[in-house]
A = this chain, B = another copy of it.
Amino acid sequence: MLIEANDEKGLVHKVSSIFYNFDLNILSNSEFVDKENNKFFMRSVVDGDVDLEELKKALKEKLPKSSTVRVISPKKKNIVIMATKELHALGDILIRHEAGELEANILAVVSNYDKLESLVNKFNIPYITISHENLDRHEHEGKIIECIDAFEEVDYIVLAKYMRILTPRFVETYEHKIINIHHSFLPAFIGANPYKQAYDRGVKIIGATAHFVNNNLDEGPIIAQEVIHVDHAYSWKDMQRSGKDVEKVVLSRALKLAIEDRIFVYANKTVIF
């Protein structure tokens, strides 16, 4: 259960009363108040026999009008992965999926190249190549949207090193649903070839950032970040190679948080419980 509300006295009391009345046992409870924006966030995992709609209704009635209440029963999320030519981030998700680590159905992998097809097919997951050749950006994305919308319900679109810039139309269609991995510790090295930028700047740390995609390239709400140390002996190719390990770990971590409904998005930031 996820609640987002304008903060006021007694919110925890109200929510816990309802849980008590519905005879629910709280397994875990996280709250956060953003004083600057006067926002209250709460995530509760509860156990008990209950009609979800009634629970939601009861919460809605008692909480301030401004509140957003999400009552979610645990079920597998549906995801579509987009990739281009690089294997490591996609491969890590496929292996985790195979190992049963991800509570998700991978509906398909969509790519603008066929390079990763044989890998994906090994795992009995549909691979759909939608080449961008001879298409303008609008047409190409139209085809991808069509492809995605053919699925009944898509919870998240994971950009596992999808190397094309998305248009505002695409981004708005799937707001807060597109998770991207950027190969730098944002906001450093926005844009193309961040490892080359990092090398040229002579940094001693490189990293990766998983974030929701919004209309400003590489400026969406950050979900997870990780870094590793490098030194003068790293060429930018070495940085790229080492960076791959960070990228795949960070993307998988962000995907896991999303799948487990642990993320709130507001004010271009995330609250993660």
Contacts and interface: CB of A to CB of B under 8 A. Distances in A.
Interface stretch (A72-80, A146-154, A203-211): A203-211
A32 B233 contact: yes
A17 to B, nearest CB: 6
Contacts of A10: 16, 20
A245 interface: yes
A96 B89 CA distance: 11
Interface string A13-39: 100110110010111110111111000
B249 A222 contact: no
A269 B202 contact: yes
> How many identical chains are in the complex?
4
A28 B31 contact: yes
Interface residues of A, number: 66
B188 A205 contact: no
Q: Could you say which of A98, A252, A270, A272 has the most chain B C-beta atoms within 10 Å of its C-beta?
A: A98
A128 interface: no
Contact of A17 (B13, B92, B223): B13
B12 A232 contact: no
B201 A187 contact: yes
Nearest to A118: B98
A69 interface: no
Interface string A166-210: 000000000000000000011111000000000001111101000
A11 to B, nearest CB: 8
Interface of A: 9-10, 12-13, 16-17, 19-20, 23, 25-29, 31-36, 87-88, 91-92, 94-96, 98-99, 101, 119, 122-123, 185-189, 201-205, 207, 221-227, 231-233, 235, 241, 244-245, 249, 252, 267-272
The 5 closest A-B pairs by CB, nearest first: A202-B269, A91-B95, A122-B122, A13-B16, A188-B188
